[in-house]
Structure 1
Amino acid sequence: RGIHEAGAEAFGAPPEGWTGKNYIGRVEQDCIPTESWAQFYTEQRVLPFARRANLHPEILQKVEKACGNIVKHADAPEFDVPPARIHGDLWAGNVLFSADGVVMIDPAAHGGHPHTDLAMLELFGTPHLVDILAGYGDPDVDFALHQLHPLAVHAMTHGSAYHRALGDAAAEVLQRYGN
């Protein structure tokens, strides 16, 4: 939570002083600062990966429509958060537990929505998730919405095993934010 509370200049803003590239795994991703979380998330996180994932046209269309609806609802209260400094690739393998505490490794740090990190932890089954969420006051995280990015990345990098999950997440987003 402390990392998220550190804030960021804008959505997509790299950490202060960082001039290098931003990666998720081995894949470069844009980090162009913007004032709109919905615009940043859809244009720099979800769509670039989904469009390179060799998805079935129906799934890609569903993802693109979900992204369009996210942008249409950019003023929704759940999107109206200040930019948080997020890890950006926060899955269980990047969280190390030791007697001295928790250490996070391999960041793709940028200004984003804190629920994106929480949703990624849930997606890939991190230990102690209940405790982590409790540390946030048990937030109402829209997991499907915030999992579109990691699912699109995995659909592109790991193939068809993630295509259905991405399509299902997009369908959930469409249900919540209109068809």
Structure 2
Amino acid sequence: MAIGADVFEVDLADGDLVVAKRHHRPGQAEAEVGGLQWLAEAAVPAPGVRAWDGTWVVMDQVEPGPATPDVAAGLGRDLARLHAAGADAFGQGPTVDAWIGQAPMRNVPGSDWPRWFAEHRVLPYLRQAVDAGTITDPGPVEAVCERIDELAGPPEPPARLHGDLWNGNVLWAADGRAWLIDPAAHGGHRETDLAMLALFGCPHLDTVTAAYDEHSPLAHGWRARVPLHQLFPLLVHTVLFGAGYARQTVSAARAALAA
């Protein structure tokens, strides 16, 4: 049974149910498998991989359930545990050639988060958007990159990120947990995952962040830095989907500069 584009529920001969996902670009299946395993190493709910090749990934099926405040609080604690598992460097991940949605993403290690974020998560996608004519006023985003050392907040060690943590990649499950799927896994700043979760809406988001903050307190001023961290996913969406996200990207850059 198809449950999405290139995603199918499959009944096995023994009565078990799995999910099979088809990839179309070289390296996507490997990156997804590596990302799911990287999340699982941190003991957070992520589907187990049954089998994979260059095209297909077969993984455990997760039975859907309600998005309740208790599940949201558990998600906050799980994200804190995931981030605390850490990474060897910013940009270090299970694969060098990775993907965020259908956009290629390079995991290039760096030791200084502000410079790394500007160089490897903001500017590559800004250049693509400008070259395509989608963003015609790159000035605010460029200004953020120029001032990023003062905008970034207190230094933090590399966190183990999901990397593409919008609500569609959170499965609210019947077992009372929130499972994480479709990672763009890499070492980064923990506020980036939380900012992405806020970008497109998430049930009980205040409960998620409160539980996270109780388990692993966030640095002072983190709310004001949300637009800074949202620049990465907004630029990716601009490259993939066009001008509507370009306007939102420029607005986020201006908000980051005004924080």
Report the TM-score when normalising by structure 2: 0.62
**RMSD over aligned Cα, in angstroms?**
1.6
Q: Which has the larger radius of gyration?
A: 2
Q: 1:85 aligns to what? A: 160
What secondary structure is seen at the aligned counterpart in 2 of 1:52? Answer: helix
Report the TM-score when normalising by structure 1: 0.88
Following the alignment from structure 2 to structure 1, what is the Cα–Cα distance between the partners of residues 154 and 242? Answer: 30
> What runs of 5+ residues in structure 1 fail to find an aligned partner?
none
- Within the candidate set 120, 142, 150, 1:64 is matched to 142
Correspondence 1:152 to 2:235: yes
Correspondence 1:132 to 2:208: yes
Q: 2:226 aligns to what? A: 143
Bigger share in strand: 2
What secondary structure is seen at the aligned counterpart in 2 of 1:34? Answer: coil
String of CA shifts for 1:129-177, please: whole Å, max 9, x gaps: 111101122743321011000111111111001111100111112223x
Q: Please say if residues 13 and 31 of structure 1, whose CA atoms lie closer than 8 Å, have aligned partners that are also in contact.
A: yes
More relative contact order in 1 or in 2 (CA 8 Å, sep 6+)?
1
Q: 2:87 aligns to what? A: 8
> What runs of 5+ residues in structure 2 fail to find an aligned partner?
1-79
Task: Trace 1:1-179 onto structure 2 (pairs within 5 A).
Answer: 1-14=80-93, 18-19=94-95, 21-53=97-129, 54-58=133-137, 60-70=138-148, 72-73=149-150, 78-100=153-175, 101-137=177-213, 139=218, 140-141=222-223, 142-176=225-259
CA 1:150–1:19: 2 relative to 1, 3 Å: closer
Q: Please say if residues 38 and 79 of structure 1, whose CA atoms lie closer than 8 Å, have aligned partners that are also in contact.
A: no
Following the alignment from structure 2 to structure 1, what is the Cα–Cα distance between the partners of residues 192 and 95? Answer: 23
Q: Please say if residues 96 and 107 of structure 2, whose CA atoms lie closer than 8 Å, have aligned partners that are also in contact.
A: no
**Deviation of the 1:79 alpha carbon:** 4.2
Following the alignment from structure 2 to structure 1, what is the Cα–Cα distance between the partners of residues 96 and 127? Answer: 24
What secondary structure is seen at the aligned counterpart in 2 of 1:85? Answer: strand
Question: Identity over aligned residues, as a percent?
Answer: 45
